[in-house]
Structure 1
C-alpha cells in the first residue's frame, strides 16, 4: 500500500511538472507579443491625447489592457493558486470623451497595469519560460548521449558545450547525460514552484496598494450602507402597502361576513349582495397580494432566470421592446434580483419620460461580468442625478460592485449600460 502511494505521488508530481512546463511555455510565447503590443498601443494612444485622437482611442486601449490583466489574474488563481486582487475605480459614466479619458488616467490602476506590462515582457517572460527550460533542457543532455553529439561536432569543430560539460565524444556525451539526470531531478522538484514564482511576481506588480484598498473599502462601505437604507425603505413600503391595501380589505371582508351571518335568515337578498361584494373584495385583495409578491421577487425570476424574467417584463410594457439574451448559465439569486429590478427601473423611466416608441434590451455575460444594455429611441437628456431613478439603480448595482453608464445626448437615443461582476453557474 505504501509503495503504491509513493508511486502515485511520483506520477502526480511528474504530471504536475510537465503541466507546469507546458503552461509556462504557453505563457511565455503568448504573453510576450501581447504585453509588447498593449504597452506600445498605450504609449502611442496617450501620446496622441493632446491632438484629440488619443481621447477617442485611450478608453478602448485601457479597457483592452484591463481585460488582459484580468485574464492573467484568472490564470494565476487557476494555474498557480495565487489570487491577485483588483481595485479599478468604476468605469467613468460620462459620455464626454475628454472627461472619461482623464478619469481613466487619474486611476492609479491604469498606471499599475502599464508597469505590469513592462515587467511582464521582461522578467515575467523569463520566469514564465523557466519551467519549460527546466524540463526541456535535460532532454537535450539525453539526446546527446543517444548520439546527437556526432552531427553537432562534425559541423562545429570547436566542440559543443552542454552547460559546463564540453561534448566532443561519446564519453563526454554520457557526462552530459549524467548532468541532465541531475537537472531533471531539480526540475522534478522545482518546476511547479518556478511557475508559481511567475504568478507571485505578477501579484507583486498588479496588487493594489494600501491607499487604493482603503479607498475601495470606503466605496464598498458606502454602497452597503445605501443597500441597508434601501432595504429598510422597501420594508416600510411593503408594510404600508399591506396595511393600506390587502389588510384593510381583509378587515372589511370580516365585517361583511359578520353582517351576512346576521342577515342570512332575516334578509337573504341583502346577504347575497354582501356575499357578492365580499367575493369581489377577496379577488381584489388576492390581486394586490400577487402584485406585492411580484414586486418583492417575481416568481418567473426564481423559476426561469433573469433572461425569461426580463422577457416577461418587456411583454407588459406599452412600448415595443426587443430582448436579446446570451446567458450560458445563471448568476446568484441576489445578483439576478438586483439586475432584474435595475432593468425594471430603467424600462419604467424610458416608458414614462423618454417618449420612445421602441426599446432594445441586451443581456450577455463576458469577461466575468454580467452586462446589460437598455437602449431607446426617445428624446434623450437622461442623467443619473441625485434623486432620479437612475441614481437608485446606481446604488442597487453598487451593492454588488456593479456600475451604471448612461449615454443620453439631447435628441436621443439613450443607452444605459450596466455591468455586475459575477460568475454563472
Structure 2
C-alpha cells in the first residue's frame, strides 16, 4: 500500500513541511546500553543460531534433489523429481517466512500461487517448473547454508568472548585455584609469560568485554539485515506480482468510490432538488386552479414558487460544483481553492505555488481532497484559522492543510480521512496525518504529478 498514516513523515523540500512524532515510548537507558538485554536482540541471536541447522538441512535437500533430478532428466522420472525438489524448497520457504515473522518481526507475503493449466499431476508439475518463485526458493535454499555458517561463527564468537571478558572478574579465581596458572595467558615463551592477573589488567579485560558486548547486538542486527533481504527478495512475491495485486486493489477502490459518488448524487437529487421541484409543480398547479377564483392567493403561491425555484437552482449549482466545479476547469487550482476557502466557516489562507497545471484528473482529486479537509475543519476541529499550501516537488503534487484546532484526528476510526486515504492510494498517492491531542493538525497529501 502506498498510504501512510501517523507521524514521522520525512521532511520535504519546503520549510513549512514538518511533522513531529508523538506518543513515542521513552526509555531510561539509551539504545546502545539496553541493546544487549532487549528481547529483540535475543530473538535475532536465536534466528542466527537456528539458521545453521536449517541452512545445512535445506542445502542438503536442495542439492541432492536437484542433482538427482538433473541426472534423471534423460528419463521421464527426472521431471517429477525436479518438480518435487522445487515444491520442497517452497515448503522450506514457508517455514522461513514463519521463522522471520516470529523472530525478526518481518512480514513477507507468500509468493503468487501456482496456476496449473488444466487438471492432473502433470499440469501441477509443469506449473511448479514454470514458476519463477519456485526457482527463487531453490536459490534461497542453496545460499542459506554458506551465509548461515558465516553469521553463526561471527555471532557466537563476538557474543561468547564479550560476555566471558565482561565477567572475567567473577571467575578469575578459577585459574590459580584449579588451572595452575595466574590468569588468562596472553603470551607464553621460554622463561617469559604474560597473564591477565593484576587488578588493572582484570579491569581492562572487563572493560574490553563490555565494549564487545555492547557492539555485538548491532553486529548481529547487521547480519540479520542480510537475512531480511534474502527472505524478502527470494521468498516473497515478485515486484510484478505485487504491482498487479496493488492495481487490482486500486481498481476495486476506484469502482467502489465511483459507485458511492453515483449513489450520493442520486440521493442528493432525490432528497433535494427533485423533491423541491415536485413540490413546486404541485404549488403551481394549485395556483393555476385558484387563478380565476382568488387571484391574490394565486399570486402569493406563484411568489412562493419563485422562491422555491431559486432554492432549487442553488441546490443544483452546489451539486454540480460537487461533481466538478466550473472554476476548476476554467481557472485552475488557485482560483478553485480560493473559492473553497471563501465558503469555509473558518478563515483560510491559500497559497498555490505551481508554474503549470497538472492533469485534469489529478487536479480534481487535489480539489476534492482540500474540500473534504476544509469541511472536517468546519465541522469538527473547533479551529479559529487554517491554511492551505499547494506546491510541486519534482514529480509529485503536494497539498498541506493545517488548522489550530483541538487535534486528535484519527484515520483508523472509520472516519472520512480513511476514505480519503483510499482515494489517494488508488492513484499512488499518500496521506499523512499529524494531529496530536490539543492540536495543531497538519494533513499532508501527496499525488503523482501528471502534466496536463
SS of alignment partner, residue 314 of structure 2: helix
Q: Which residue pairs with 2:438 in the alignment?
A: 411
Matched, 1:389 2:416: yes
**Match of residue 282 from structure 2:** 255
2:353 alignment partner, one of 293, 316, 326: 326
Q: For the residues of structure 2 that align with 1:107 and 1:362, how far apart are their CA atoms?
A: 36
Match of 2:362 in 1: 335
Change (3 A) 1:241 1:59: closer
Q: Distance in 1 between matches of 2:290 and 2:363?
A: 52
Question: Counterpart of 2:409 in 1: which secondary structure?
Answer: coil
Please, which runs of 5 or more residues in structure 2 have no aligned partner?
1-7, 14-18, 26-104, 109-235
Q: Map 1:198-277; keep pairs closer than 5 Å.
A: 211-277=238-304
Alignment CA distance shift 1:267-1:98 (3 Å): closer
Q: Structure 1 length as normaliser, TM-score? A: 0.51
Change (3 A) 1:59 1:288: closer
The answer for the alignment partner of 2:339 in structure 1 is 312
Q: Is the 8 A contact 2:405 2:441 kept in 1?
A: yes
1:365-384: CA deviation from partner (whole Å, max 9, x where unpaired):
12100001111122222121
Q: Report the counterpart of residue 361 of structure 1 in structure 2.
A: 388
Q: Supply the distance in 2 between the matched residues of 1:59 and 1:254 (Cα, whole angstroms).
A: 58
Q: Do 1:220 and 1:398's aligned partners in 2 also have CA atoms closer than 8 Å?
A: no
Corresponding residue SS for 1:329: coil
| CA RMSD across the alignment | 3.1
Distance in 2 (CA, whole Å) between partners of 1:296 and 1:423 is 21
Q: 1:136-159 CA deviation, whole Å, 9 max, x = no partner?
A: xxxxxxxxxxxxxxxxxxxxxxxx
Match of 1:289 in 2: 316
TM-score by length of 2: 0.48
CA distance in 2: counterparts of 1:352 and 1:262, whole angstroms: 45
Larger RCO: Structure 1 or Structure 2 (Cα < 8 Å, ≥ 6 residues apart)? 2
Query: How big is the shift at 1:309?
Result: 0.9
> In the TM superposition, what whole-angstrom CA distance separates every residue of 1:180-224 from its partner, at most 9, and x where no partner exists?
xxxxxxxxxxxxxxxxxxxxxxxxxxxxx9612322322232222
The offset of 1:269, in angstroms, is: 1.2
1:399 to 2:390 alignment: no
Q: Which runs of 4+ in 1 moved over 3 A?
A: 93-99, 105-108
> Any gaps of 5 or more consecutive residues in structure 1?
1-55, 65-92, 100-104, 109-208
Offset of 1:295 from its aligned partner? 1.1
Residue 301 of structure 1 is aligned with which of 316, 328, 333?
328
Closer, same or farther: CA 336–361 of 1 in aligned 2, 3 Å: same
Given the alignment, which residue of 400, 407, 424 partners 1:380? 407
Change (3 A) 1:424 1:328: farther
Could you say if the C-alpha distance between residues 386 and 224 of structure 1 is closer, same or farther in structure 2, counting changes exceeding 3 Å? farther
CA-CA distance at 1:401 after TM superposition: 0.8
Does the C-alpha gap of structure 1 residues 414 and 301 become closer, same or farther in structure 2, counting only changes over 3 Å? Answer: same
Shift of 1:289: 0.8
Of the three residues 387, 392, 397, the one matched with 1:370 is: 397
- 1:299 Cα shift? 1.5
User: 1:311, 1:323 within 8 Å by CA — same for their partners in 2?
Assistant: yes
